[in-house]
Structure 1
Amino acid sequence: MGKSTDPVTGSGVDKCLAAIRSMVLSGELLPGQKVQQAALAEALGVSRIPVREALSRLQSEGIVEHKSNTGYTVSRFNSEDLAELYLMRRLLETELVKTADLSRIDVAAMGKLHTEMVAAARAQDPDEFQRLNRQFHFAIFDASPLTLVRQELQRLWYMSDFYRSLYLYELETTQRLVAEHKAIIDVVRAQDSKRLLKELDAHRAGTEKIVVRRLGHRRRPA
């Protein structure tokens, strides 16, 4: 495959961003694993320049880390890190829901996403379920005018994508999530922000518990 003649274009960097995020989500790149820039550039048909730019952006999002002697590696989280991440998610998501205009939300579109998630759960397709799940939740958050808060929340979601994907291989768990999503749709339809906050808090707490359990309660090194 020929390499791009304009490797620093936005499309080239975006291509690398999407590819690396997908590799982290699928487990092709595991937490703590070094990112081989030359091999990645070759696989994507680009030069190393957009790969480096993409990795620099992912570093700012907390998805990868950089050390001068080892280069870029996929960030590794422990149970305490994830507890902080979920705390930040709760704070930001609460503000977004409180300021959201629920009448702007396309409930029919959320229902369609819900139907597609049911199919993804039955097909045991965690990548598709994860993609749809993000769209489902941000259909709510996008109804808030707090753009910077929403962008920061997007970063937090990206940081924890791989860890959330761990439980998406469990059919029982995805079925529970789908049932909770149905309840969330009903509350959005009723435009009841207080009930929506309660539903989302319970939903988030349940997924955090599963993620920490799957992580094995690994703690920060002393």
Structure 2
Amino acid sequence: MSVYDRIKTDLVAGHLAAGSALTQTELAERYGVSRIPVRDALQRLKSEGWLAPHGKRGVAVPRFDALEVEDLYLMRTRLEPLLLQFAAGRLSGETLGRARDILDRMEREADLPAEAIGELNWQFHACLYQAAKHPTLFAAVEQLNRQYQRYIGYQARSLDYQHTSQREHYAMLEALRRGEGDAAAALLEQHIATAGRTLVAYLRG
């Protein structure tokens, strides 16, 4: 596993405390590597929104931010249903089967860590969205999901939201299987908005 992946895994799992400043030296010692791959990983993670600027040249682990969650889920509710509508008519039985396999794995492995839940959640959505053949829109949606990913695992575990999320995923997949693209897009919009509002309310409460 690369240094980038190891740091990101620790961020999603909460092993690097929110609000804490990160230094290249400390991380190099933590992961047993030189500072150069750590520097490159931190630059990439900062550009992807996983880390925040700190001081003149440093980075810090961002705190959970209700406003960030609100902005992200509002953008996702606009873009992802559109992408799914583009994809709906292009989805093959094989693609739908792969998407279901991801959901089934999440059902079977009830003790998945938070970082795995976030990654599998994106794999499920990406499996469907890629069929849209709109690479620029897909890239924008992927960036939003990557920024939101650290919240998904937290929400699944801390708010016990995974059962609700899975039920909604299966309902959306069934609508797609029946060829009901508009219905699936409406379910997706509701799925993202409800989860987002729930988390925002929790963080502000």
Question: What is the TM-score with the length of structure 1 in the denominator?
Answer: 0.81
For the Cα contact (< 8 Å) 1:64–1:74, is it kept in 2?
yes
Sequence identity percentage: 27
2:52 corresponds to 1:65: yes
2:118 corresponds to 1:144: no
- Cα distance in 2 between the residues matched to 1:151 and 1:17: 20
Which deviates more from structure 2 when the two are superposed, residues 68-77 or residues 157-166? 68-77
Q: What is the CA distance between 1:75 and its match in structure 2? A: 2.4
For the Cα contact (< 8 Å) 1:103–1:191, is it kept in 2?
no
> CA offsets, 1:148-192, max 9 Å, x none?
222222222121222222221158521111111111110121232
Partner of 1:23: 10
Q: What is the CA distance between 1:70 and its match in structure 2? A: 6.7
- Cα distance in 1 between the residues matched to 2:129 and 2:97: 16
**Relative contact order (C-alpha < 8 Å, sep 6+): which is higher?**
2
Give unmatched runs, 5+ long, in structure 2.
none
Specify which of 174, 178, 193 is matched with residue 190 of structure 1.
Answer: 178
- Cα distance in 1 between the residues matched to 2:74 and 2:97: 30
Computed over aligned residues only, the root mean square deviation of the Cα atoms, in angstroms, reads: 2.2
Pick closer, same or farther for the CA change 1:102–1:38 going to 2, 3 Å. farther
Alignment of 1:127-166 (within 5 A): 127-166=115-154
Q: What is the CA distance between 1:119 and its match in structure 2? A: 1.9
Alignment of 1:1-222 (within 5 A): 15-69=2-56, 71-105=58-92, 106-120=95-109, 122-123=110-111, 125-169=113-157, 172-217=160-205
- Cα distance in 1 between the residues matched to 2:169 and 2:88: 19
**Equivalent residue pairs, number:** 203
- Cα distance in 1 between the residues matched to 2:47 and 2:26: 22
Give unmatched runs, 5+ long, in structure 1.
1-13, 218-222
SS in 2 for 1:143: helix
Question: What is the TM-score with the length of structure 2 in the denominator?
Answer: 0.88
For the Cα contact (< 8 Å) 1:102–1:140, is it kept in 2?
no
